[in-house]
Structure 1
Amino acid sequence: MSKQRKKTWNEKVTEVRKCYFRSIENPHFPKYFYRNLFFLSPKIEDYFKNTDWEHQEKALMLGLSHLFHYFDEQDTFHHKQIVRLANVHSHDNLNIHPHMYYYWIEALVMTCKKVDPQWYEDLQYYLRETVFFPISFMISLYHRHED
């Protein structure tokens, strides 16, 4: 195990957030992300058949903003937005099955690796670990019915 990987949770979150902020400076980030997502799982492309891509790319970037601010326990706004996103993607709405999030996380890793000018290999582990925290919360709401 690399010595560098022996970081605390907060150190990993800090590294991942810095990577995220560097990565989104690239104007092609959303296009690369979806290209990677469809490469990893071509079936996912079916969900986007009639998509307004300009709107979808903005929605992706907004969702990522909520995701990367989710780590701040005091920030209830972003927590509420993650709940909202989970509801939108739940079984009763868009029906994005929980196993699809694996591809989503991997597409995020691949995209950050491509566009982050300060990328280093351990970031892939930090990204997977930290992003899984809010994603697992979203997955837990997959079968929740809105009242």
Structure 2
Amino acid sequence: MTDVEIAAFHESFERCMVSGRRFFDVFYDHFLLSPEVAAKFQGTDFKRQKEMLKLSLYVMLGAVVLKSADYSILAALARRHARNDKNIPPHLYALWLDSLMFAAKKCDWAFNDQTEAIWRKAMQPGIDYIASFY
């Protein structure tokens, strides 16, 4: 990613985080519309889940801002999502990303098509890393 894209992503991300809990509420409300996803989250402590999502997004943001492809901090998360644990199939990450975009659109007043493309570009390496453990 270019420095301009990184700055745009960081600014949009921070606008979303300013909304606080709303970003994560909107994300999960949208993500759980999928029956397959909803089934995976049965019995989930969503307060904890939202904190874990926030942490993973900050890890991904850090990797983008630092221009580092080191997602090893996500390794535990990736192993937990793998076939032999939570069994989260790779196709669900597209729904995850679409839900993230939905939440960003709702929570970032300056979000547009260019911002969405930058978010997708920023998130994809982390998604690929996690999915590779499947």
Q: What residue number does 2:29 align with? A: 35
Instruction: Please state how far the C-alpha of 1:124 moved relative to its aligned partner.
Output: 1.1
AA of the residue aligned to 2:4: E
Query: Which is worse superposed, 8-17 or 130-139?
Result: 8-17
Q: Aligned-pair distance for 1:63?
A: 1.4
Distance 1:53 1:98 in 2: 22
SS at match of 2:18: coil
Give secondary structure in 2 for the equivalent of 1:97: coil
How far off is 1:120 after superposition?
2.1
Q: Deviations over 1:31-57 (max 9, x none)?
A: 100011123x23201111101121111
Q: Which runs of 5+ in 2 are unaligned?
A: none
Which structure has more relative contact order (CA 8 Å, sep 6+)? It is 2
Percent of matched pairs sharing the same residue: 23
Q: Against the structure 1 CA distance between its residues 127 and 74, is the aligned structure 2 distance closer, same or farther, given a 3 Å change threshold? A: closer
Matching residue's letter, 2:49: Q
Taking the TM superposition and a 5 Å limit, the aligned residue runs for 1:1-147 are 9-27=2-20, 28-39=22-33, 41-71=34-64, 72-73=66-67, 79-142=71-134
RMSD: 1.8
Distance 2:10 2:69 in 1: 15
How far residue 114 of structure 1 moved from its aligned partner, in angstroms, is: 0.5
1:86-105, Cα deviation, whole Å (9 max, x unpaired): 11111121111011000000
Following the alignment from structure 2 to structure 1, what is the Cα–Cα distance between the partners of residues 84 and 68?
A: 29
Separation (CA, whole Å) in 1 of partners of 2:68 and 2:42: 38
> Where in structure 1 are there 5+ consecutive unaligned residues?
1-7, 143-147
Change (3 A) 1:70 1:105: same
Number of matched residues? 132
Superposed structure 1 runs of 4+ greater than 3 Å apart? 73-76
Q: Assess if the C-alpha contact under 8 Å between 1:15 and 1:123 holds in 2.
A: yes
Q: Which one has a bigger Cα radius of gyration?
A: 1
Q: Structure 2 CA distance, aligned partners of 1:126 and 1:103?
A: 17
